[in-house]
Structure 1
Amino acid sequence: MSKVKESAIVSATSALQPQGPSSSYGLINSFAHQYDRGGANVNGKPSYTVDQAANYLLRDGAAWKDLNKDGTISLSYTFLTKAPSDFYSRGLGTFSQFSDLQKGQAKLAMQSWADVAKVTFTEAASGGDGHMTFGNFSASNGGAAFAYLPFDMPGSHKGESWYLINSSYQVNTTPGTGNYGRQTLTHEIGHVLGLSHPGDYNAGEGNPTYRDATYAQDTRGYSVMSYWSESNTGQNFVKAGGQYYASAPLMDDIAAIQKLYGANYATRSGDTVYGFNSNADRDFYSATSSSSKLVFSVWDGGGNDTFDFSGFTQNQKINLNETSFSDVGGMIGNVSIAKGVTIENAFGGSGNDLLIGNALANVLKGGAGNDIIYGGGGADQLWGGTGADTFVFGAISDSTKAAPDRIMDFTSGQDKIDLSAISAFAVNKLPLQFVNAFTGHAGEAVLSYDQGTNLGSLSIDFTGNSSADFLVTTVGQAAVTDIVV
């Protein structure tokens, strides 16, 4: 039987005086609220919630009708081989067919919309609830592409999307993962499905800028339907000198298309990994090296899911809460979680990472580097990895006797357990008194450690009832000097 050596760790006279919330908690709290929406103005514009932004993308009221009432919008599509009869009368210049590369990328863009909503696409000359067409034009009219909203009216051209290719503009000839050509395809298909721009502007009509945006989140950090740089909302999709773009619908687009046609919960309903070691089977969700460029909003139908960003060497900030943004692989705000999505686990890389869990039981791994890890609610498994790591707890409910967190690799003298933001310390300035056993006084703490199993725990009685209100367990021994209040 292993021997429990509690008294060897602390004496009954050991006590810590609260110093106020730590800088580590400050970093957690600041990042957790960096992208808060609604309420106060941002950039001099109203801040829209996800629902408000989704409604604005749908303000024109255009949508395909479910003709056979099966609960899914089924669209057929063709890649045009010749110009429509009225093509030249519309002043579109010269017609050209889609290349094989364009066709393949258009199919991937359609797939990304079908992933998130009850919409299907079938290559056929006709059929379904409506028909889409793709073609190229050459006339420089101020826009790189255009498409028609699905209004039911004579001459509406609904289902058509057109892409500019001429000697001066070649972007649409080489669409690919993360480039502007691929985002253009996704954007125009969004119009075909019924989404408008987030503001009342169009290419070729005047000289609109972000100053003309109706609301603050009208940027390419929130919607592929936007014209404006993500830099306007504090994000940065530049890496190694190159500008990158979303290849699939972003947070507000996903919310909008799901309001219109319903959410597709069959998509990735099993255990899915995003980033390194991805099994998501989508090019924009996969990373293969530290130089990979990820720009995406994740939609996931269920399962136990993981953000694996372990192969990145840059400092990262990862937040697992729905509608949150993360700084991944050297970019800022480039990964987000759509409304209604739950991601359970996050793996950081070899930089100094900051990880924020959600209310579920998370597995959070910092990896190498000096990481700051906040599990939040739920019985979390927390791995600091190598380096000096700080495990932050912001409330008693973050780790309770009923659902305690476990720090899986605690190293005394290097790692810290940070309790400084718990209100009993931060607000009430309750001293933390270490004892060998509870005696019925609020603020008493017991550190225990079993040498045989290498398991320890920190129990705190905040109410004076001689029972642990807060409990965190450790693999490895913690000392009084490792605790921050």
Structure 2
Amino acid sequence: MTYGQITQSSDNTSTGDNNIDALLLEHRWADTTVTFSFTNNFKNDYEEETDYPAEFENGFQTLNATQRSVAREWMDMYESVSGLTLTELTGAQDRNATIRIAESSAANPARVGDFPGSTEHSDSSFAAGDIWFDNNQFNNPQMGDYAYLTFGHEIGHALGLKHGHSTEEGVQAVAMDANRDSIEFSVMTYRSYVGSPVRSYTIAQDSYPQSMMMYDIRAIQEMYGANFNHNSNDTVYRFSTDTGELSINGVGQGQPVGNKVFRTIWDGNGNDTYDFSNYTTNLSVDLRPGKWSNLDRDGNFQQAELGPNQHAQGHVYNALQYDGDNRSLIENANGGSGDDIIHGNNADNVLRGKAGNDVLRGYLGADEIQAGTGDDTVYGGFGNDKLYGFSGNDKLNGQADDDLIHGGAGHDIITGGFGNDRLNGDKGNDQLVGGAGNDILTGGAGADKFQFKSLQHGIDSITDFVRAQGDRITLVASGLGGGLTQGLLGAEQFVLGSATDANDRVLYNSSTGALSFDIDGSGSTKAVQIATLSAGTSLTRSDFVVV
């Protein structure tokens, strides 16, 4: 390998996804090991090469220490998400690197000499991969400013990424979709925000991306594969409310130029957590791939300013999955002290609402959802979930599969949904609705209501009906039918034993604890058992309320 040329490139192929294809140049490097260097002398490092553009000798300068550090940061980012190995060459070997980086007054303001495997912009294939910055704008790049973004943008070109807003020079003649063509989703587009024109950026100087964004990551992975070794242990991501700095397992990753949070997270494996417990704002946290978390859904705290009255939709963006591989998912999230909305994903999530009146949603997976203090609403989703209300008047919904639900303190409404669920009211005056399946209902302390609304919902077990503490069984007239009317159960509608006339509806066997409902009393339709109480439990019609 001599004079900056990898002798072989490969053709990119279309994925069928415009947002990925719009970032793919026609060619990529054939080898996943790519070298880079910071050159020191034009004559020694470039001029001996055939037909190298002489214009770049004008104002030639080597990069300063800050520029080199930022270039290495971006190289590390590209390497951390992909199968690339990016190796720095130094000393006499610097001219042999595939990607050589320097300053020149011919850059105007920054450019690659040419793209991988191309001589479209230069007569010399030796220029492919080289990066040039002008002598003025990029001398002090800081995380989150324009110069910092430009380093990541130009390195993207050198590795095979094209402009996302353009239909030219790509594997397909497509641009990113209108709702994704924005700096929020790719550092390779010139659109400052969704719907903005293609022109000079309108972004505030401290509001540029602090990392590769989700489609940059996915496109570079399409060319070179994904890196599942990056942060592959259990990783906690936390952001400073004072500076916006990201900490990974307690180690700061560099302070941005302004107190902004604007980045995408790629995590290779492990059981990982977004920890936003230090935030007092109302959060919208979403762990699903391709979604994002807004750390101030009612305002603009730490939010990137992309134009006049235009802010980024989120702060922390999730990378897309590579070939559906779940290893890159973030599994857990901790809310703050505000009123938070937290979405899980298809992994086994642990979601903690903490303080505030929160809404938490699990999806697939066996989730554990801890509502925390405040009046919270929880949805388990699919999977065998564990839901905990703790304090506050909570609404806990198991939804699908076999769930374990604890209300905790407060007056809670607990619904099992589908599956064979275990519902525990714990303290407070709770309402327990087993739903479909054979559920176990335990009211705990307080005046609890055990609700039944369908004859197709299985046979639930009521473990602790105590009349003296105010427990009641509620029957939903619209679901059970049988001529029930709201209020107390009619005297003629309750009977111990079997139905004896057409008015009997609720049948109870105190010896076995079997509680049944008969839609037509002594008619032809057979009674259906809906619950079982502890044998010997005494019931009267006053223990029932029709709603």
User: Smaller-chain TM-score range?
Assistant: 0.5 to 0.7
Q: Conserved in 1, the CA contact under 8 Å of 2:29 and 2:160?
A: yes
- What is the CA–CA distance in structure 2 between the aligned matches of 1:355 and 1:403, rounded to whole Å? 22
Does the aligned pair in 1 maintain the 2:19–2:175 contact within 8 Å? no
Code of the residue aligned with 2:343 in structure 1: it is: I
Task: Give the drift of 1:52.
Answer: 2.8
Q: CA deviation at 1:389?
A: 2.0
Q: Quick one: distance in 1 between partners of 2:132 and 2:436?
A: 70
- Is the Cα contact below 8 Å between 1:220 and 1:228 reproduced in 2? yes
Show the counterpart of 1:258: 221
In structure 2, how many angstroms separate the alpha carbons of the residues matched to 1:80 and 1:443?
70
Counterpart selection for 2:36 from 53, 74, 77? 77
User: Is 1:325 aligned to residue 292 of structure 2?
Assistant: yes
Instruction: State the 1:457 CA deviation.
Output: 12
Correspondence 1:36-435 to 2 at 5 A: 51-58=17-24, 60-66=25-31, 73-83=32-42, 84-85=46-47, 89-90=54-55, 93-125=58-90, 126=93, 131-139=98-106, 141=108, 143-146=109-112, 148-151=114-117, 153=119, 155-156=124-125, 157-166=127-136, 170=137, 172-200=138-166, 215-216=177-178, 217-232=180-195, 243-276=206-239, 278-279=248-249, 283=253, 292-328=259-295, 330=301, 331=303, 332-340=313-321, 341-392=328-379, 399=398, 403-404=402-403, 406=405, 410-413=408-411
Q: State the Cα RMSD in Å.
A: 4.3
Give the letter for the 1:307 counterpart.
Y
CA shift in 2, pair 1:359/1:466, >3 Å = farther
* Alignment deviations for residues 59-92 of structure 1 (CA, whole Å, 9 cap, x no partner): x3121112xxxxxx11222111123437884267
CA distance in 2 between partners of 1:62 and 1:361 (Å) = 39
The answer on whether the counterparts of 1:445 and 1:460 sit within 8 Å (CA) in structure 2 is: no
Cα gap change, 1:380 to 1:132, in 2 (>3 Å):
same
Name the CA shift for 1:227/1:201 in 2 (closer, same or farther; >3 Å): farther
Specify the SS of the correspondent of 2:66: helix
- 1:436 is displaced (CA, Å) by 9.1
One-letter code aligned to 1:244: S
Structure 1 stretch displaced more, 297-306 or 130-139: 130-139
Query: C-alpha deviations, 1:192-222, integer Å up to 9, x for none?
Result: 00011113289xxxxxxxxx96531121111
Which residue is 1:464 aligned to? 457
Is the Cα–Cα contact under 8 Å of residues 273 and 331 in structure 2 kept in the other structure?
A: yes
Distance 2:88 2:473 in 1: 67
What is the distance in 2 between the residues matched to 1:214 and 1:437?
Answer: 47
Bigger relative CO (Cα 8 Å, ≥ 6 apart): 1
Distance in 1 (alpha carbons) for counterparts of 2:250 and 2:69: 18
1:218 & 1:368 partners in 2: Cα distance? 36
**Cα–Cα, structure 1 residues 405 and 92, in superposed 2: closer, same or farther, change >3 Å?**
farther
Task: Give the match's secondary structure for 1:109.
Answer: helix
2:403 maps to a residue whose letter is P
* Distance in structure 2 (CA, Å) of the matches to 1:388 and 1:81: 63
Distance, in Å, in 2 between the alignment partners of 1:402 and 1:357 is: 17
2:431–2:449 contact (8 Å) kept in structure 1:
no
Q: CA deviation at 1:264?
A: 1.0
- Structure 2 distance, partners of 1:128, 1:81, is 9
Distance 1:149 1:56 in 2: 15
CA contact (8 A) 1:390 1:416 kept: no
Question: Which whole-Å CA distance do the structure 2 matches of 1:218 and 1:435 have between them?
Answer: 48
User: In 2, Cα distance between the equivalents of 1:152 and 1:57?
Assistant: 16
Counterparts of 1:113 and 1:436 in 2: how far apart (Å)? Answer: 51
Secondary structure at the counterpart of residue 147 of structure 2: helix
Q: Judging changes above 3 Å, is the alpha-carbon distance between structure 1 residues 163 and 123 closer, same or farther for their aligned structure 2 residues?
A: same
Q: Secondary structure at the match of 2:279?
A: coil
Work out the CA distance in 2 between the residues paired with 1:360 and 1:457. 34
> 2:207, 2:262 within 8 Å by CA — same for their partners in 1?
yes
Amino acid at match of 1:151: G
Tell me: CA distance 1:80–1:128, structure 2 relative to 1, closer, same or farther (3 Å).
Answer: closer
Larger displacement relative to structure 2 (311-320 or 79-88): 79-88
Could you give the per-residue CA deviations for residues 297-318 of structure 1, whole angstroms, max 9, x where no partner exists?
Answer: 2211111011112222222111
Map 1:420-459 onto structure 2 (within 5 A).
447-450=441-444
Change (3 A) 1:198 1:104: same
1:333 CA drift (Å): 1.9
Equivalent AA in structure 1 for residue 27 of structure 2 = A
Distance in structure 2 (CA, Å) of the matches to 1:397 and 1:49: 35
Cα distance, 1:130 vs structure 2: 5.7
SS in 1 for 2:18: helix
CA distance, structure 2, for counterparts of residue 247 and residue 93 of structure 1 = 31
Moved over 6 A (4+): 394-398, 434-438, 441-446, 456-462, 478-481
Residues 443 and 123 of structure 1: CA distance in aligned 2, closer, same or farther (over 3 Å): closer
One-letter amino acid of the structure 1 residue matched with residue 320 of structure 2: K
Counterpart residue identity of residue 74, structure 1: T
Shifted more, 189-198 versus 83-92: the winner is 83-92
Supply the distance in 1 between the matched residues of 2:161 and 2:149 (Cα, whole angstroms): 15
Unaligned 5+ segments in structure 2 are 1-13, 169-173, 197-203, 240-246, 304-312, 322-327, 386-397, 419-429, 462-470, 475-546
Q: Matched residue of 1:373: which SS?
A: strand
| TM-score between the two structures when normalised by the length of structure 2 | 0.59
